[in-house]
Structure formats: C-alpha cells, structure tokens
Amino acid sequence: MNVRKLGTELAVFPVGLGCMSMSHGYGYGGQDENEAIRTLHRAVELGVNFFDTAEVYGPFNNEILVGKGLRPLRDKVNIATKFGFNVVETPEGPKQLPGLNSRPGHARAVAEGSLKRLGIEVIDLFYQHRVDPEVPIEETVGEMAELVREGKVRAIGLSEVSVATLRKAHAVHPIAAVQSEYSLWTRDPEAGMLAACRELGVGFVPFSPLGRGFLAGAIKSADQLGEGDFRRGLPRFEAQNIERNLAAVARLEKLAAAKGVSAAQLALAWVLAQGDFIVPIPGSRKVGNLEQNVAAAAIALSPAELAEIGNLITPDQIAGARYGDAAMAQTNR
C-alpha cells in the first residue's frame, strides 16, 4: 500500500478522512448515523486508515460516532483526536465555553475522556487543537509526552502553530504531525512551516484542503449554507465574497475538465504533490465524494502542471480571510 509517514510512529494512506462534518459544523444536525458509519467503512475498504476527530466537535458526539464506526475495524485504522478548548459538562450536556485550556491536567482529562468516548485503548495521534497563550508549550507537551509513556497515546501533534512553537515543542518530545489549513486558496504554511516539518521529520496534515467544499465547486451561493452552518460566519463565504471567488473556481473547473478529473481531485492532487510528508484530511459526508478524494492520490502531476494549477488560484485572488479576527488570533502562535 502507498503510505506516508507522520513522524516515526504512524504510516498512513496519503489521504485521510476528516470526520468533523459528519456531526458538527456544517448545519442540519450533521449526517444520519448509519450513513456516516457507511462512509467510514467505505473509507477503510478503499485503503484509508487515518481518521480525524476532536472532543470539541459536537462537543463529544463526533468522537462517539467515530468510535462506534471504527471500533470493529480498530486493527486497520489510526485515530487522531484533539484537545485545547474549554469543554465542560453541564446538566444540559457538554458545552464549549469561551477561551482555550491547555493546562496539563486538562490535557490529561481530555485524553482519558476521549479514550472512553472512542472506546479504544490508545489514541494514535493526540493533538493540541490551539496553543493556549497562558500555558508554556513546554508544559503542555511535557504532559502529552507523559501520556505517551503511559501508553495512552502513541504520538503527539500540534494544530495551527508557528514554526517557533513547533521547534520548542519538538525539543521536549518528538512531534509526529502539525495540522493546519492548507489548500490552493490558503497557503500560509508555505511561509516556513512546510520547510520546518520537512527538516524535523514532522508530518503535515492539511485540513480543509478543498476550501471547506468551495474548491470542489459545491458552493455557488451563500443561500446553500443552511442554518447552523459555521461557514456562514467565515469571511470567504459572505455573499459578496463568494461571488468574487467563484471566478477562481471556474478556472480550476475548466482545467480539471480538460484533464478528465474533477476540480476537487485536481485541488487535492496539488496539495498531495507539495511533499511526501503531507497527508490531507478532506471531509466527506457522501460516499461518492469520498471515492473521488481517495482516487486523487493516484493522480500524477508534472512540475509544469503543478505550476499551472498553483497559478490558477492564489490567495491574493481570493476575497475574504479564512477566519474572523477572533479565530485568526488563535492561529500561528
């Protein structure tokens, strides 16, 4: 099987599956559970063995869903989950409170809770979801390393961090992977992070490699975003910005059609070609889209084609930031 390494511990299929949208984020209460589990099982049939979730997705219910779907296939899969937000139990159920929390005791409590919700004995990859400016990264990673030593976690990762933070963390304990948004329309990791990961032997895991569905041509109007869809609050998905950004997607669709693939496949193949340490995790709630995404791993692109695709959609051509100001302030710390 064609595999890529995330650090020294994990060997995974080049395309993983982001599971968030199965139950969180994109409105309408998520996906039907049976359909979600069918999608998870189909992914494994296709060779996918890397699945991404987090305690905050729901909160909690995405981990429960992923665990239910993947426990019967545990020997075939690697499961990543994340901590770092303030999620608390209330009489009405779990709720996310404002702010971040990466205190060592909290990291441990989330790991133990995630193990129970997933119904597994070890978390394959445990990420800090966002850097907590109130807690030195060395303290947080030190506790994560202790979880590795205790056998509760196989490998540790960081999400949306700066190169400086990665280097500090990696000096405490090897970091297996950094997760950040990366796609044709979000190139921030090219300003040092990809080079640092390559240098340190750290895997890089792009989330939203298809621009939260936009680069796949699935969204033509803000009216398509249902009530509760968090993309409604993202600047790039404001009505006036969608209108401007559609021109970039039209160029991608035209080139993809000429090459006999979908726009999503071309965008994903471009991300995959940026390095053999890169493992994107596009989300999918439909088996057909999942199958297309997995097939993108087999698309070979020449240097000339990569340059052509990379020039079709560039961040300077895109209207709107990827997050609002508050969420952007939590990235690249």
The CA-CA-CA angle for residues 323, 130, 277, to 5°, reads 90
Q: Cβ atoms within 10 A of the Cβ of 248, count?
A: 20
Return the H-helix or E-strand segment holding 310. helix 303-312
Report the distance separating Cα 252 and Cα 263, nearest Å. Answer: 6
Report the distance separating Cα 315 and Cα 263, nearest Å. Answer: 17
- Categorise residue 43: left if φ over 0, alpha if ψ from -120 to 50, beta otherwise: alpha
Please indicate whether residue 26 is annotated as part of the active site. no
End-to-end CA distance of the chain: 36
The position carrying tokens 């600047």 is: 235
Catalytic residue, candidates 26, 57, 127, 182: 57
Q: What is the DSSP string of 267-284?
A: HHHHHHTT-TTB----B-
Query: Which residues are catalytically annotated?
Result: 57
